[in-house]
Amino acid sequence: MNLYKTFRNPLALASISALLLWLSFPKFNFSFLAWVAFVPLFFSLRNERFSKTLLFSFVAGFIFFVLTIFWLTHVTIPGMFVFSFYLSLYFVIFGLGFYLIKKHHSFWLPLTFLPALWILLEFFRSTLLTGFAWVLLGYSQGPNLLALQVADLSGVYGVSFMVMFVNVFVFKVLSRNKGSRNYRDCSFIAPLLVIFLWLGYGLYRVMEDPGKTCPVKVSLVQGNIAQEIKWVPSFQEEIIKRYELLTELSYLKEEPDIIIWPETAFPEYLEFDGTDEPLKELAKKIKTPLLVGSIRIEEMRYYNSAILFSAKGTVAGIYDKLHLVPFGEYIPLRKYLPWVERMLGIEDFTRGPGYEIFSVPASKYGIIKFGVLICFEDTLGSMARTFVRKGADVLVNMTNDAWFGDSACPFQHLEASVLRAVENRVFVLRAANTGVSCFIDDTGRVIRRVHDDRGKATYVTGSETGLAYKTRRSSLYTQLGDYFVFLSGVYVFIMIFFSRRF
């Protein structure tokens, strides 16, 4: 095999980009590869005509998404390939943007236009058709604390922008003509300064005193219930006993201020003054607030809910999930898709009425307020931001990733919570049925997690207790939201439609 020919083959280069990008995400976590992952793709596209540009961009996207969301095959194999095809179209549009500017002689235009276009496409992917805000480029930097910190200014999209900025810069440096003006005047010094400022800001934020106050002691319970038995009536008693045992052990050993169960941990449909009695009795027994995930029924409507039981066994608050998952929690256009209804056989869940903030006494230090994000709601930066703006001091993510097996999915999901912590400068607590259940501080550092003796964090049974705090740090992103995406979108459209340079 001639390696020289391989690395000059555009199709091979596009495939290498997909592999590098895949390796930058969990479970591999080679985050530094994301900084150069697009460089082979850029080389594959730089001399290609329009049709080949779109083809190679599609190949890179399709390979990347198939490898990255392969865990979806635990639910649907055809659906995984169809979904990967759809997601790859965003790569195609990005390739089109590269085609538009590749012959332009400006050094700075690609450095700003391509990152701006990329995050605009990420934003659309995260919002259109209810959105899929998964494996965004910024999420690849989960292990890289310095790279993450800019998220409190611009959200995850700012991190994505900078990672793409580095990719374009590396490509421009490697592909430069040594006799060109750009080489002689050392234009690459300014981009290096931008990268230095990006990481310098990260170092400043990581080293800064967060001003932690109002410590609250929290126990996270990870029941590790297989999806195959979760709703089997004959296993209900065993599942409840497992959660009760883990809860009582946490209370006896740690005396926490609150104990948190995962999404839909309660294995029955919860009805107040009926099936909720075991939970009320457990909260009274341990004299500790208990936050439980459950499917509840009210007036023949189904809700995916988080219910807070007080230390006296009363219902102290209810949050019903706002962002429902299509084909998982409801069927879009149900009356027009009867065959989908017959195939899935699911009832539609009802969207909750609004945001709910839970308040819990924090030992001797006053009251601390929680906002709960259920399932994939933590992938939506706007939802987490709204909870914080409404007064949440700490965010909780209740989830059940058991649907997708012992795969990369729980670890990819974890990175979303990491970014929510940095964006809003709050602690994020994750209670996950099969993992990853953990404590994340306001710099995005995972400080404690449920794990076994070998350090395995998924598909293990256990609990973890630690402290969460209010922080005194402010966040521009919390105040202004996705303004950075808006500005990038304006810039992209001006460059495309109004600039004579194209």
Residues noted as catalytic: 263, 321, 375
Residue 24 · residue 16 · CB < 8 Å: no
219 backbone dihedrals φ, ψ, rounded to 5°:
-110, 125
Angle between helix 156-174 and helix 189-207 axes, rounded to 10 deg: 150
C-beta of residue 379 within 8 angstroms of C-beta of residue 134: yes
Residues 396 and 411 sit within 8 Å (Cβ to Cβ): no
Q: Is 396 helix (H, G, I), strand (E, B) or coil?
A: strand
201: tokens are: 């800001």
Q: Taking Cα atoms as reference points, which of 122, 177, 204 lies closest to residue 381?
A: 122
Q: Which residues pair with 438 in a beta bridge?
A: 430, 449
Identity at 255, one-letter amino acid code: E
Where b means 16+ CB within 10 Å and e means fewer, 1-25 reads: eeeeeeeeebebbbbbbbbbbbbbb
Range list of β-strands (E), 315-402: 315-320, 357-361, 367-374, 394-399
- In the 3-class helix/strand/coil scheme, how is 8-64 assigned residue by residue? CCHHHHHHHHHHHHHHCCCCCCCHHHHHCCCHHHHHHHCCCCHHHHHHHHHHHHHHH
DSSP state of 102: T
Q: What is the rounded distance in angstroms from the CA atom of residue 502 to the CA atom of residue 499? A: 6
User: Is 179 in a helix, a strand, or coil?
Assistant: coil
Give Cβ neighbours of residue 116 (< 8 Å, ≥ 6 apart). 161, 488, 489, 491, 492
- How, if at all, do strands 290-298 and 258-260 pair? parallel
Q: What is the DSSP annotation of 206-217?
A: HHS----EEEEE
d(CA 412, CA 134): 8
Distance of CA 354 to the CA centre of its chain: 21
Tokens 């709703």 sit at which residue? Answer: 231
Q: Which amino acid, 244?
A: E
